[in-house]
């Protein structure tokens, strides 16, 4: 009996972190609640390490993928297929820039901050379309 109880407690302790992980649902939309076109809703997510982001293709023609060179050092990027729902669990702390590849130039971007972090120096340097850059700047102001 004590062995069974000890085993159960050990398993609960190992799974404890996963039990408290949160799942955030992000919709990929042609038009947001505020009237903006080509958006992720919400456009900014503050997550903890181990949390999951579920991307939902609420409207057709969208995907979600990390922007090149705009993820934390040591993190793996991700790329969802167009019109498909998918989930990604983020374990590495830092700031992740997410784009919809077909609508990136139209500003279809979002930001995920994992942990208590700030945007890294030079995060928006490089080739970022004007509308996307403006939306990223707005999203980063939530940090």
- Three-state SS for the chain is CHHHHHHHHHHHHHHHHHHCCCEEEEEEEEECCCCCEEEEECCEEEECCCEEEEEECCCCCCCCEECCCCCCCCCCCCECCCCCCEEEEECCCEEEEEECHHHHHHCCEEEEEECCCCCCCCCCCCCCCHHHHHHHHHHHCCC
**Low-confidence spans in the chain with pLDDT less than 50:** 4-11, 13-14, 16-17
Average pLDDT of every residue of the chain: 90
> Which tens digits make up the pLDDT trace of 23-58?
999 999 999 999 999 999 999 999 999 999 999 999
At 119 the pLDDT is 93
Specify the pTM.
Answer: 0.86
């Amino acid at each position: 009996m004590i062995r069974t109880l000890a085993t159960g407690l050990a398993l609960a302790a190992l799974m404890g972190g996963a039990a408290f992980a949160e799942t955030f649902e992000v919709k990929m939309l042609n038009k947001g609640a505020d009237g903006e076109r080509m958006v992720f809703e919400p456009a900014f997510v503050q997550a903890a390490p181990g949390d999951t982001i579920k991307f939902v293709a609420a409207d057709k023609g969208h995907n979600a993928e990390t922007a090149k060179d705009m993820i934390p050092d040591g993190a793996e990027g991700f790329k969802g297929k167009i019109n498909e729902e998918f989930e990604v669990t983020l374990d590495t702390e830092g700031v992740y820039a997410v784009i919809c590849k077909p609508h990136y130039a139209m500003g279809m971007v979002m930001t995920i901050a994992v942990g208590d972090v700030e945007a890294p120096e030079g995060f928006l340097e490089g080739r970022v379309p004007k509308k996307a850059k403006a939306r990223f700047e707005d999203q980063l102001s939530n940090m």
